[in-house]
């Protein structure tokens, strides 16, 4: 371990909780719970971070406290005693690896749903609707305020009784306590509104009742935002003052700091920023809180690398570093750092694939570490095969091909990778043409370094044909040749160019461009942004009701911000039906999705994006002589078992396909295909 990181490996004691180092994975709801209960998947997910060396594993993000709370983000249900045994399962698994843990409690306030569970209205300090969650809340009455404060305390006792080391009370704006604090959401005229003293009252009541029930020795923390970044909301100065008032009361043992308000798409991106924001964007604000309070301060927001973390702790800005998404990307981050293997740490690139999925009711997954959340079936450290070494040929050097080569080589097999181009990375090389998305290139950099370390024989500029593959005498062939772009199926489609043509520089962009984005993915948005910033007049047309229908908020928000800044004309609910020549221009004919009417545009260039079609010619040729005729047993694949299907006993190799050569999807799907297949070779 390098001396530069010594500060990160110093222990920190908070009452009876001894944290072995300064790394924390902060509480979040990964969507692995079932009906508010802990699952084996959830246990393994949290335990893996402890096994990887994370000192403080905070889990159970936004665990519910009251009957009106729903858990539609996959939170845990803290309203009954059944949670005690559930939390104990995770706590034991974390403690086995020498780490400590806390659980977070929250009441969603106005962001609850009325149409789930018991069909009780959302409660809030005032009738102020949140745009993101859309409920019109009921103004909470005094008897319910008292009840909810008791609910927090009772839930905290359940956490204590489970063997978890501490409880964290969430006071950020998405929760009821934070909604009482902020003048944006609290317009009350009683004892809970108006002055700052009154707006803080409910939070104090929660902490007082919690402390009275859990006892003086138990660790109680609070999480708050450093700045709401919203007109009329609480700024950093106000929140420093609030943190100071709570710290002085003696009810709180540590403070956890984030940033943002999370009431709409833009402020949600503030709280969970993507690569569009710089690293550690709110560190100075957390440091201001640290100066105010005489308590340990934890800070988490886009701190993804050890150098930034070490700087923050060494300078005394904070005491604990929350690197939650970094540990989703690599739960063994801390262990590798301690072992001096910094270059082996799989980087968090700020893709926000994890959080974007949770926001739409799915489980958290890392864009490029497909083992995270699947610890029951996939190993983060790929185990060597116990069978004989096999000759594996991988065709295609995009994410699927690189992951196939990495995993197969980690299993101990002899791997050759054939790539038609002069560089590895596939479509990710196009994605990085957008300046703020350049960090996606780190996915490729990491994969390339790993396959080189593992001794994979990488051969560039090899447009492989069947004879080239067979000349290598393979026992396993993985085709990962990706897909080819499609402009669409409108009349005159041959007159249009693809987003790839533009982004790859194969076609000079026109001065006046119409982009028809039927795929709704990043490619259309990226092309529009890049061309507009180059100086082209761009109209982006979508048949959907909003642009970027397949893009999560972590990327859609910055995309839309940049498109508006660049002056791109945005047209929705419209379909491109025809392109025809008109002199040296093109006529693009659009039809409205809802009305039987058309419009025409006169432009220099039409760009179409209909996703990709499989580039599977080589796969089709190789099927005939393969043992399995190129078939995947989908039941075996879904169960993470080895492929055993034999259709041609005379065949000399088995043949698989992974990534967009199977169907156009995304980076995660491509790498998941490869990992599932190759971890069982």
The pLDDT tens digits for 499-551 are: 999 999 999 999 999 999 999 999 999 999 999 999 999 999 999 999 999 99
When pLDDT is averaged across residues 539-568 and rounded to a whole number, the result is 97
What is the rounded distance in angstroms from the CA atom of residue 19 to the CA atom of residue 12?
A: 5
What is the rounded distance in angstroms from the CA atom of residue 384 to the CA atom of residue 407?
A: 9
Nearest to 409 by CA among 340, 363, 455, 371: 455
What is the rounded distance in angstroms from the CA atom of residue 234 to the CA atom of residue 230?
A: 8
Q: In sequence order, what are the residues at sequence separation of 6 or more whose Cβ sits closer than 8 angstroms to the Cβ of residue 482?
A: 396, 398, 400, 426, 427, 612, 615, 659, 660, 661
Q: In sequence order, what are the residues at sequence separation of 6 or more whose Cβ sits closer than 8 angstroms to the Cβ of residue 624?
A: none
pLDDT value, residue 478: 99
What is the rounded distance in angstroms from the CA atom of residue 599 to the CA atom of residue 612?
A: 27
β-strands 612-614, 605-609: how paired? unpaired
Q: Would you call 387 helix, strand, or coil by DSSP?
A: coil
pLDDT band for position 40 (50/70/90)?
A: very high
What is the rounded distance in angstroms from the CA atom of residue 83 to the CA atom of residue 155?
A: 9
Residue 176 and residue 170 in contact, taking contact as beta carbons nearer than 8 Å = no
What is the rounded distance in angstroms from the CA atom of residue 417 to the CA atom of residue 404?
A: 9
E strand or H helix at 29, and its extent? none
What is the rounded distance in angstroms from the CA atom of residue 532 to the CA atom of residue 376?
A: 46
Residue found by looking up tokens 């009275």 in the block = 212
Residue 616 and residue 660 in contact, taking contact as beta carbons nearer than 8 Å = no
Superfamily of domain 3-359: Aldolase class I (3.20.20.70)
pLDDT value, residue 72: 75
Nearest to 513 by CA among 588, 454, 441: 588
β-strands 574-582, 585-592: how paired? antiparallel
Instruction: Name 589's bridge partners.
Output: 578, 600
Question: Token pair for residue 335?
Answer: 């262990």
Q: In sequence order, what are the residues at sequence separation of 6 or more whose Cβ sits closer than 8 angstroms to the Cβ of residue 377?
A: 640
3-state SS string over 88-140? Answer: HHHHHHHHCCCCEEEEEECCCHHHCCCCCCCCCCCEECCCCCCCCCCCCCEEC
CA distances (Å), 574 to each of 147, 518, 539, 599, 608, in order?
51, 10, 12, 9, 13
Q: Is the CA virtual torsion 375, 379, 385, 386 positive or negative?
A: negative
Burial degree of 433 (CB within 10 A; 0-12, 13-18, 19+): middle
Residue 148 has pLDDT above 80, yes or no: yes
pLDDT value, residue 1: 59
DSSP state of 267: H
Q: In sequence order, what are the residues at sequence separation of 6 or more whose Cβ sits closer than 8 angstroms to the Cβ of residue 189?
A: none
What is the rounded distance in angstroms from the CA atom of residue 418 to the CA atom of residue 464?
A: 7
Angle between helices 82-95 and 40-51 in degrees, nearest 10: 30
Instruction: Give the model confidence (pLDDT) of 53-102 as tens digits.
Output: 999 999 999 999 999 998 778 899 999 999 999 999 999 999 999 999 99
pLDDT band for position 204 (50/70/90)?
A: very high
pLDDT band for position 135 (50/70/90)?
A: confident
E strand or H helix at 72, and its extent? none
What is the rounded distance in angstroms from the CA atom of residue 323 to the CA atom of residue 279?
A: 11
Instruction: Give the model confidence (pLDDT) of 621-676 as tens digits.
Output: 999 999 999 999 999 999 999 999 999 999 999 999 999 999 999 999 999 999 99
When pLDDT is averaged across residues 151-160 and rounded to a whole number, the result is 99
What is the rounded distance in angstroms from the CA atom of residue 56 to the CA atom of residue 49?
A: 9
What is the rounded distance in angstroms from the CA atom of residue 579 to the CA atom of residue 604?
A: 11
pLDDT value, residue 132: 75
Q: Which residues of 291-308 are buried (b: 16+ CB within 10 A; e: fewer)?
A: ebbebbbbbbbbbbbbeb
Q: Would you call 281 helix, strand, or coil by DSSP?
A: coil
Residue 268 has pLDDT above 90, yes or no: no
Residue 339 and residue 7 in contact, taking contact as beta carbons nearer than 8 Å = no
Residue 585 and residue 602 in contact, taking contact as beta carbons nearer than 8 Å = yes
Residue 139 and residue 150 in contact, taking contact as beta carbons nearer than 8 Å = no
Q: In sequence order, what are the residues at sequence separation of 6 or more whose Cβ sits closer than 8 angstroms to the Cβ of residue 268?
A: 132, 260, 262, 359, 553, 557
Per the prediction, the chain carries an average pLDDT of: 97
What is the rounded distance in angstroms from the CA atom of residue 439 to the CA atom of residue 325?
A: 14
CATH topology of domain 487-610: FAD/NAD(P)-binding domain (3.50.50)
To the question of domain 391-484+614-678 being in CATH 3.40.30.10, the answer is no
Instruction: Give the model confidence (pLDDT) of 584-634 as tens digits.
Output: 999 999 999 999 899 999 999 999 999 999 999 999 999 999 999 999 999
Question: Token pair for residue 657?
Answer: 């396909």
Q: In sequence order, what are the residues at sequence separation of 6 or more whose Cβ sits closer than 8 angstroms to the Cβ of residue 3?
A: none
Q: Is the CA virtual torsion 493, 496, 502, 508 positive or negative?
A: positive
pLDDT value, residue 134: 78
Q: What is the C-alpha R_g of the chain?
A: 27
Q: Would you call 328 helix, strand, or coil by DSSP?
A: helix
What is the rounded distance in angstroms from the CA atom of residue 562 to the CA atom of residue 277?
A: 13
Residue 236 and residue 242 in contact, taking contact as beta carbons nearer than 8 Å = no
DSSP state letters, 599-630: EEEEESEEEEE--EEE--HHHHHHHTTBTTTT
Residue 262 and residue 184 in contact, taking contact as beta carbons nearer than 8 Å = no
pLDDT band for position 215 (50/70/90)?
A: very high
Report the 10 Å Cβ neighbour count for 346: 24
Q: In sequence order, what are the residues at sequence separation of 6 or more whose Cβ sits closer than 8 angstroms to the Cβ of residue 389?
A: 412, 413, 414
pLDDT value, residue 129: 82
In the chain, what are the domain boundaries?
A: 3-359, 391-484+614-678, 487-610
Q: What is the pTM of this model?
A: 0.96
Question: Token pair for residue 2?
Answer: 């390098």
Residue 349 and residue 442 in contact, taking contact as beta carbons nearer than 8 Å = yes
């Amino acid at each position: 371990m390098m001396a530069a990181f010594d500060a990160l490996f110093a222990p920190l004691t908070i009452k009876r909780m001894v944290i072995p180092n300064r790394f924390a994975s902060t509480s979040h709801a990964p969507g692995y719970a079932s009906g508010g209960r802990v699952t084996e998947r959830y246990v393994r997910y949290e335990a893996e971070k402890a096994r990887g060396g994370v000192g403080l594993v905070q889990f159970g993000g936004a665990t519910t406290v009251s009957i009106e709370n729903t858990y539609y983000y996959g939170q845990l249900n803290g309203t009954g005693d059944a949670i005690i045994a559930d939390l104990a399962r995770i706590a034991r698994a974390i403690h086995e690896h020498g780490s400590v843990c806390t659980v977070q409690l929250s009441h969603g306030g106005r962001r609850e749903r009325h149409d789930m569970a018991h069909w009780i209205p959302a409660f809030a300090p005032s009738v102020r609707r949140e745009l993101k969650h859309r409920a019109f809340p009921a103004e909470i009455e005094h008897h319910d305020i008292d009840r909810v404060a008791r609910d927090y305390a009772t839930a905290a006792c359940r956490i204590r009784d489970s063997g978890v080391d501490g409880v964290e009370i969430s006071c950020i704006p998405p929760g009821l306590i934070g909604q009482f604090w902020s003048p944006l959401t609290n317009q009350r005229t009683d004892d809970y509104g108006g002055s700052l003293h009154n707006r803080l009252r409910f939070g104090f009541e929660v902490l007082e009742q919690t402390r009275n029930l859990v006892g003086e020795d138990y660790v109680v923390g609070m999480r708050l935002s450093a700045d709401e970044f919203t007109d009329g909301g609480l700024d950093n100065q106000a929140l420093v003052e609030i943190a100071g008032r709570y710290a002085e009361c003696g009810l709180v043992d540590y403070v956890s700091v984030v940033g943002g308000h999370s009431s709409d798409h833009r402020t949600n991106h503030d709280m969970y920023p993507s690569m569009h924001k710089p690293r550690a964007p709110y560190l100075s604000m957390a440091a201001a809180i640290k100066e105010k309070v005489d308590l340990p301060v934890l800070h988490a927001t886009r701190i993804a690398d050890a150098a930034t973390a070490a700087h923050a702790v060494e300078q005394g800005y904070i005491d604990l570093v929350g690197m939650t998404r970094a540990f989703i990307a690599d739960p063994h981050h801390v262990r590798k750092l301690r072992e001096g293997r910094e270059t082996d740490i799989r980087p968090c690139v700020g893709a926000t694939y994890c959080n974007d999925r949770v926001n739409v009711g799915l489980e958290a997954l890392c864009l490029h570490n497909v083992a995270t959340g699947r610890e029951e079936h996939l190993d983060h450290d790929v185990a060597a095969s116990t069978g004989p070494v096999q000759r594996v040929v991988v065709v295609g050097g995009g994410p699927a091909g690189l992951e196939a080569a990495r995993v197969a080589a980690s299993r101990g097999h002899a791997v050759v990778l054939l790539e038609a181009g002069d560089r590895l990375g596939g479509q990710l090389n196009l994605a990085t043409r957008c300046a703020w998305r350049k960090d996606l290139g780190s996915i490729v950099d990491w994969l390339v370094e790993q396959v080189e370390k593992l001794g994979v024989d990488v051969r560039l500029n090899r447009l492989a044909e069947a004879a080239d593959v067979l000349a290598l005498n393979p026992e396993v062939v993985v085709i990962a040749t990706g897909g080819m772009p499609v402009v669409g199926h409108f009349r005159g489609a041959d007159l249009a160019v693809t987003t790839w043509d533009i982004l790859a520089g194969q076609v000079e962009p026109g001065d006046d461009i119409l982009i028809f984005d039927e795929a709704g993915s990043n490619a259309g948005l990226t092309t529009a942004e890049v061309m507009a910033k180059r100086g082209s007049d761009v109209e982006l047309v979508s048949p959907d009701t909003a642009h970027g229908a397949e893009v999560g908020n972590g990327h859609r928000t910055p995309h839309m911000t940049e498109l508006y800044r660049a002056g791109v004309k945005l047209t929705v609910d419209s379909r491109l039906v025809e392109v025809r020549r008109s002199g040296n221009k093109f006529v693009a004919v659009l039809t409205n999705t809802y009305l039987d009417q058309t419009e025409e545009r006169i432009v220099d260039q039409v760009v179409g994006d209909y996703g990709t079609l499989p580039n599977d010619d080589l796969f089709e040729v190789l099927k005939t002589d393969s043992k399995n005729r190129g078939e995947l047993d989908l039941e075996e694949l879904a169960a993470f078992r080895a492929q055993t299907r034999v259709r041609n006993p005379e065949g000399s190799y088995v043949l698989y396909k992974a990534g967009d050569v199977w169907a156009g999807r995304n980076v995660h799907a491509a790498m998941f295909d490869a990992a599932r297949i190759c971890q069982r070779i």
